[in-house]
Amino acid sequence: MDIFALIASFGGGIIGAYMGALPAFILTGVIAITGAGVAMGGGADMTVGFIAFGSYLGPHVAFAGGVAAAAYAGKQKKLGSGTDILSSLNGLCDPMTLIVGGIFGVFGFLVHYLMGSILHLNTDLPGITVVISAIVVRFLFGTSGLIGKAPASEKREYFTSGNGMMCNVLLGLGLGTAVGFIYQVLVNSGAGDAVLGSYPILCFGIAAASLIFTQTGFATPATHHIALIAALAVAASGNPALGPIFGIIASLVGDFMAKTFNSHCDTHIDPPAFTIFILTFIINAVFGNGFFSV
């Protein structure tokens, strides 16, 4: 364990709190694009592992810290809802809210270390850490239980129905097709291992950065779980047809996670992170190469 990275994670958690969980994650996407671009161009990149997925802006540190801080602020009635991952919590002028963010930044770093360096889990480590952290946060600061409390008069849904379901399928199909077959274009053009190895990170970064439109009020969905999983499936298998297949699967799994763990609740458990760590584990198990574990 790098003690300096551990100390830095407290600051990363505060960054996620004062900036807001989603704005911090958008910056993760921007840095991921930059780092992947440098690596695909043949340069030596240090930003992906140490900044985008490290103690500065890593989702398990900054995003998780922001989620925890929002949940704490919601419980203290300083924020309208503990599920609010868009607001910059610096505006609350509450030191304890920022400290909670820092504490959960450190917690995220330690869970990530446990899952990767000690247990050697063959999955997406930031993703599983974000989920574990969010579950702890829900039981600490929430009142709705793990899967929320639907009104007695409302039938609980586990998937979006009607046109919403079709849109989710088409979202996964469209993004998965683009991601999968562009990978094959790169292969056909003679792209080297540096390009192909960084391609999933680039796809993730583009999708994560697109959440700037969600942040600014447009109906743009989260798609980083779809883009990353589709790219990983294609890169691990060498079969571009798995892009749209895993794109649809990721979209539907993400919808299920949102309906199950993020409805009728008062803290945020991230559906894309849930989807990414489960499907990355499956891809790594099926293709047996441990392709992706940041």
Q: Comparing 289 with 208, which gets the higher pLDDT?
A: 208
292 in any annotated domain: no
Question: What pLDDT, on the 0 to 100 scale, is given for residue 172?
Answer: 97
- For the chain, give the number of residues: 294
215 in any annotated domain: yes
* CA atoms in the 13 A half-sphere facing the CB of 115: 24
**Neighbour count for residue 41 (Cβ, 10 Å):** 11
pTM, 2 dp: 0.92
261 in any annotated domain: yes
265 in any annotated domain: yes
How many structural domains comprise the chain? 1
CA gap 44, 35 in Å, rounded: 9
133 in any annotated domain: yes
294 in any annotated domain: no
- For residues 99-110, average pLDDT: 97
Confidence of residue 11 (pLDDT cuts 50, 70, 90): very high
Question: What pLDDT, on the 0 to 100 scale, is given for residue 210?
Answer: 97
Question: What pLDDT, on the 0 to 100 scale, is given for residue 191?
Answer: 84
Question: What pLDDT, on the 0 to 100 scale, is given for residue 231?
Answer: 96
* pLDDT > 60? residue 290: no
Residue 145, token pair as written in the block: 């239980």
The terminus-to-terminus CA distance of the chain in angstroms comes to: 15
- For residues 166-175, average pLDDT: 96
Which residue type, as a one-letter code, is found at position 136? V
Which residue type, as a one-letter code, is found at position 191? A
- pLDDT, tens digit, 9 for 90 and up, residues 43-74: 767 888 889 999 999 999 999 999 999 999 99
Residue 276: domain span? 3-287
Q: In the chain, pLDDT over 70 holds for what percent of residues?
A: 97
* pLDDT > 90? residue 90: yes
Confidence of residue 294 (pLDDT cuts 50, 70, 90): low
CB-CB contact of 148 with 135 (8 Å): no
- pLDDT, tens digit, 9 for 90 and up, residues 240-256: 999 999 999 999 999 99
CA gap 85, 78 in Å, rounded: 14
Q: Comparing 122 with 137, which gets the higher pLDDT?
A: 137
* pLDDT > 70? residue 289: no
- For residues 253-271, average pLDDT: 93
Contacts of 79 (CB under 8 A, 6+ apart): 70, 73, 87, 89, 92
Residue 82, token pair as written in the block: 């503990």
275 in any annotated domain: yes
- For residues 128-138, average pLDDT: 97
CA gap 237, 249 in Å, rounded: 16
293 in any annotated domain: no
CA distances from 190 to 92, 187, 195 (A): 52, 5, 10
CB-CB contact of 271 with 257 (8 Å): yes
